[in-house]
Amino acid sequence: MNALLQQLQNRQLIWQASQTEAPYEHCQSTGFSALDKLLGGGWPQHNVIELQSHGACAELQLIQKALAGSGSELLQIWINPPANLCAEYLLQQKRPLHQVLQLNAPRSADALWAAELCLKSGSCMDVLLWQNNLNLTQLKRLQLAAAQGQSQLYFFRPAIAEQQLLPWALSLQLTPATTGLQIRILKRKGGWQQQEVLLPWAELYPHFIKPELGQERYSRPPLSRVS
Amino acid sequence: MSAQMEFWLYLYFPQLQLDKLVVLHSNSSTTTASSDKDKSHHLDLTAPLAIVGADHQLLQLNSAARQAGLALGMGLASAASLCHQLQLVPHNVGQEQQQLQQLAQLLYQYCGDIALQANSGLVLKLSPMLALYGGAMQFWQQIQQVLQQAGYQYHFATAQQPLVARLLAQQHWDQFLLQSDKIQQQLKALPLQHAQLPNKLQEQLQRLGLAQLGDVLKIPQAELVRRFGVEMLQYLQQLTGTKPALLQFIQPAEHFEQQLELLYEMERSDQLLGPLQHLFGLLQLYLQQRDQLAYQLELCLLQRQEQQQQLQLHSAQGEYQSKDWLKISELQLERLKLKKPVIQLKLILRRAGPRYAQYKTLFAGHLGAGKAQLYSALQLLSLLQARLGKDQVTSPCLHNDLLPEQASRYAAALEPQAAIAGTLVAVRPAFLVDPPLALDTEQQHQLQLHYGPERLSSGWWLQQSQHRDYYVGQNAQGQWLWLFRDLQQPEQLYLQGYFS
């Protein structure tokens, strides 16, 4: 190694591919083997995860196993969800209703404040936040709060054309396709980005799509079933 | 000193109102650095300042005023001619009485029998306490510590009779002694004009050539009573303690209600935190003495032109520490718009309960292990409610109804709900649209249905029967929807929820 390289190395300006460590310290399996493989184990723990989509395309289904794994002693917080929560759905997920809090915060500053407080309180496990914009400082604060309180923030955001460069631990873009959900990694700590996987709908919604029947049901016109 | 002897301690506070000003001023100058503009409203406590009674006499003076040559009892006219820049504050009897009451509550922690006396005095019954403290000096040190923290000037004396202790304390004797001979000696040397005899009696005695109380006591009692009547008898009985004194001992207050006059008008809500801290400190003391937690407080902000704004402060878990209440009130004050500058604060305790030990799991489950709690769930709830508003924080709840929009409702946050019997149906979306949204024909044609129908028939036992067929479908954007068709109008599809 020549002197210049040595000098640069001493000043820690050189990054070597051999130094890459495992991207996340703790992972929680997503319950979908294809997605686990894509993410290198599963959801990173005690961090902030961004899920970009235009809604209603199985984004909660993806994190459902992680939420169920959090146990029911600690609170689950939903901040500004896009519509009313369905109590029966939550009970299906084995979640006691009095351990769920829904917060409505019309001002985005309030919503972020509440998310940060819940994350660092230590009495919540998962915080689900619907919000449009976030800047670097706000993200850093949320990440620190999540690490401090050992909790997890799922950040739901509408898909946007212009990509900001934010240091997410993990950022996914979810696009519905005809056969399944297209999942693209926008940003992943310590990993390659721009990888994709397609999860079939039958795997995401097993309780109402039977794989073998799936094909014929697609062809049926909507009004033909009722006479 | 024999164990059977009664001893009394009299505490005399000569300048309660003035001292209160000093205490408040030092508090506010440390917490909020006020700008120069604000200072023009302030009283300058280093310059001559006097508290003036209703009859235009000077009642309390600070040291600067004393240096200017003023003396207590001086009229306003002569005071003004001696010192023209003298600042005057009207005497507030009600406020002094409240302060005295506060002091008594403070001392109640250390002494069981305390009575309020006219003219800014407290009388404490020592004798039962001495056994508890294992000596007079230990007890006295404890009391001194409390008084020092309160920051008021005081004079004191001890005696076997409350009246004697009072006479000596008001003469600034300032001796904590339990030797009755020394006390009697001091009493005998007391000039008659300070003996607090009824005016007429005092005049008569002085005309007889008696100058000190000791001269009166030398004369046999029967002779004195025969000559001066019943008034003299009562006085002598109190002085010698032959008849027990009539005293009403204080009871710990049953309600917490404290007022605080602000030193100057406050226009910003963040300025209020300094004075609020003082009030919460009093609350903490109140709650600690009773081993209670406060759940709900009411804070009145009295404003100029007799307006007032009220704040309700809640804590779901119950708090007693002033710092926790300060945090909750800070969040609420941030949201508050003051209509007028605030001149007075009033804090009322609305709901309190006994304090229980708060159990925490030592070895929590798999995930909670080693998780340090900054706030408990209920503390978190109180903070969220304080900033977002009480109705913005809710928990979902399930009602016993078939129609989805009736079944899923919201209830008060974190309250356990009664379980509803019955099995859960398989297909339910995460989000519900309430009320259901009618889809137009174009949207209906773009739909793809995947699952259904699931029929819900409800309300037929009432007049409003509903028969619906539910489907799961996907729209043109690929979103998963929960749709239903009302059997009374089968062409129309409604959007009931989103799968997510």
Closest CA to B404 of B396, B392, B412: B396
Amino acid found at B466: Q
Mapping DSSP to helix (H, G, I), strand (E, B) and coil, where does residue A201 land? helix
Contacts of B375 (CB under 8 A, 6+ apart): A117, A121, A122, A123, B383
Whether B426 sits inside 8 A of A207 (CB atoms) is yes
Which of B375, B483, B500 is the best residue to mutate to test the A interface, defined by the most A CB atoms within 10 Å of its own CB?
B500
Is B448 a domain residue? yes
Closest Cα of chain B to A122: distance in Å? 4
Residue B290 in any domain: the answer is yes
B428–A124 C-beta distance less than 8 A: no
Residue B381 has a pLDDT of 92
| Yes or no, beta carbons of A122 and B374 under 8 Å apart | yes
What is the tally of structural domains in chain B? 4
Detail the DSSP E strand segments found in chain A: 27-28, 43-44, 48-52, 75-79, 84-85, 100-103, 124-130, 152-157, 170-176, 180-188, 196-200
Closest chain A residue to B443 measured between Cα atoms?
A222
Q: Please report the residues numbered 366 through 395 in chain B whose beta carbons come closer than 8 angstroms to any beta carbon of chain A.
A: 366-368, 370-377, 379-381, 383-384, 387-388, 392-395
Chain B residues close to A207, C-beta within 8 Å = 426-427
Indicate whether B158 and B195 sit together in one domain. Answer: no
Q: Is B307 helix (H, G, I), strand (E, B) or coil?
A: coil
- Residues A130-145 have a mean pLDDT of 92
In a domain, B181, yes or no: no
- Angle (CA) A87-A91-A96 rounded to 5° is 95
Q: What is the CATH number of the domain that holds B276?
A: 3.30.1490.100
Percent of chain A with pLDDT over 90: 37
Question: B226 and B110 share a domain?
Answer: no
pLDDT tens readout for residues B294-326? 999 999 999 988 888 999 999 888 888 999 999
Q: Which residues of B touch A101 (CB under 8 A)?
A: 381, 384, 393-395, 413-414
**Category of B173 on φ-ψ map: left (φ > 0), alpha (ψ -120 to 50) or beta:** alpha
Within 13 Å of residue B41, how many CA atoms lie on the same side as its CB?
12
The angle formed by the CA atoms of residues B11, B14 and B19, to the nearest 5 degrees, is 105
Of B373, B413, B448, the CB nearest to A122: B373
B407 at interface of A, judged by CB pairs closer than 8 A: yes
Pairing of strands A124-130, A152-157: parallel
pLDDT score at A183: 92
Q: What is the pLDDT of residues B457-479, one digit of tens each?
A: 888 888 788 889 999 999 988 89
Q: Residue A220: helix, strand or coil by DSSP? A: coil
Quick one: B147 and B194 in the same domain?
A: no
Q: Under CATH, which number does the domain A22-207 receive? A: 3.40.50.300
Reply yes or no on whether the pLDDT at B421 is more than 70.
Answer: no
Indicate whether B344 and B442 sit together in one domain.
no
The three-state secondary structure class of B36 is helix
pLDDT band with cut points at 50, 70 and 90 for residue A22:
low
Of B413, B447, B478, Cβ closest to residue A101: B413
Report yes or no on B180 lying in a domain.
no
The Cβ of residue A159 has, within 10 Å, a number of other Cβ atoms equal to 12
Q: Dump pLDDT digits (tens) for A29-69.
A: 888 999 888 888 889 989 999 999 988 889 999 999 999 98
The predicted structure's pLDDT at residue A139: 93
Domain that holds residue B484: 428-498
The answer to whether A75 touches A119, Cβ cutoff 8 Å, is no
In a domain, B112, yes or no: yes
Please name which of B190, B310, B205 lies closest in space to residue B239, comparing C-alpha atoms. B190
